[in-house]
Structure 1
């Protein structure tokens, strides 16, 4: 093979284009979703106005309804569309607290894995090359306790869901660890929202207004914080053990 073939700029451009294609597709889809106003359908008003149709379809076509719901949730998560709370509550509204939680967690995990893989494929190497050695140090520290750190980030919504999907991709977290932490970490919060959704019918019957802002009560926040502290126990234990060996 000649050197001109190896150093062919056109070949490099094609490789870059292929690497960036997943992110380009996602960005185009996000723009298209907002341009078409699809985010308007992720609202309590839409859920209330189409309540009878949705309940009837779910009752008559359970498998199809589950597949469609998981698909919508996965796409919404992958495109980082607003309305995750509404969809989680809708899961409980349509399927009940426990099954609703399961379908929400599956949909969110599939969507999160999709954006994680797209970011790792498209931007991981580029950002590492530009960030320098500090990112490698951060990557090593994060990878050592990746599961515990990710569980904390999933349990307590300190950062937007999309950020927690992207950052691990740049820090070299394995797909298995990311998937496991996402699936387990979002169960408690998803159950809270789905449980609220299971009782949403009575709210609609009374004609009351509803807002997701009132769901995260102090009691719920304290419970999630407690779970996040427990997930950090392995990290603390490992550091104490290491410090004792060093002394």
Structure 2
């Protein structure tokens, strides 16, 4: 009998190693993007990149950085965009500081635009990497209240994400990962992220535009400047108010649905 016609149990007796099922091969490869993200984050910390993403570094190198931007504005903007995308994609905790960098180096308008694009692209990369490995995780494994929450999140994905992005209560990378677990479409994630971060992005970029005096004052007092030196209570309350206003349509829609179902 031809070997190609042997059933699986007979083929194992011929001494040939059985091939892995296609599903197992796919299940292994689906975790590769997440593995790359974790490896990139670990490598970044091993190289000490976190030391360069601080207001202390900006204070020390602000004249050199500005001279580089003045010498080649286009290439500096492109390099900044790439750095921001990589920082967000690898979940490096430096979004706020980098946004301030952008406003300081390029002005609030150009810097804010670069940050908005870079943050959205980087967040989408992390979102896709997480979804490839854990997409549909909650849908397949939970029930009851959590299941209803997941279904409601998917139905109103844009509204919920927009509000969360508008008022950054949760860390940026946490929202990127959580959205992937809720199995939201990339188009909704991209749009809600880009539009939702615009107010905060330009606010931080505007703060960065005037950070020079804060850095000088911090150096004069012998300490390193902190983001809290720039962010006031009024700005925080403004973000919360914006988020509440943006959330109102979603809340009203939910109440209408409950009323109609009774």
- TM-score, normalization by structure 2: 0.85
Secondary structure of the 1:98 match is helix
**How far 1:239 sits from its partner (Å)?**
2.7
Q: Which runs of 5+ in 1 are unaligned?
A: none
Give 2:76's match in structure 1, choosing from 60, 65, 70: 65
Q: Is the 8 A contact 2:138 2:182 kept in 1?
A: no
Q: Is the 8 A contact 1:94 1:198 kept in 2?
A: yes
Paired with 1:9 and 1:138, the residues of 2 have a C-alpha distance of 37
Q: Which runs of 5+ in 2 are unaligned?
A: 12-17
Tell me which residue corresponds to 1:236: 251
Tell me which residue corresponds to 1:165: 176
**Number of corresponding residues:** 245
Q: Mapping of 1:156-195 within 5 angstroms?
A: 156-195=167-206
Give 1:54's match in structure 2, choosing from 39, 53, 65: 65
Tell me which residue corresponds to 1:224: 239
Q: Mapping of 1:20-99 within 5 angstroms?
A: 20-99=31-110
Q: Mapping of 1:73-152 within 5 angstroms?
A: 73-125=84-136, 128-129=139-140, 131-134=141-144, 136-152=147-163
Paired with 1:125 and 1:153, the residues of 2 have a C-alpha distance of 21
Give 1:155's match in structure 2, choosing from 158, 166, 172: 166
**How far 1:175 sits from its partner (Å)?**
0.6
Q: Is the 8 A contact 1:138 1:171 kept in 2?
A: no
Q: Which has the larger radius of gyration?
A: 2
Secondary structure of the 2:30 match is helix
Does residue 215 in structure 1 map to residue 226 in structure 2? Answer: no
User: Could you say what the CA RMSD is over the residues aligned between the two structures, in angstroms?
Assistant: 2.4
- TM-score, normalization by structure 1: 0.89
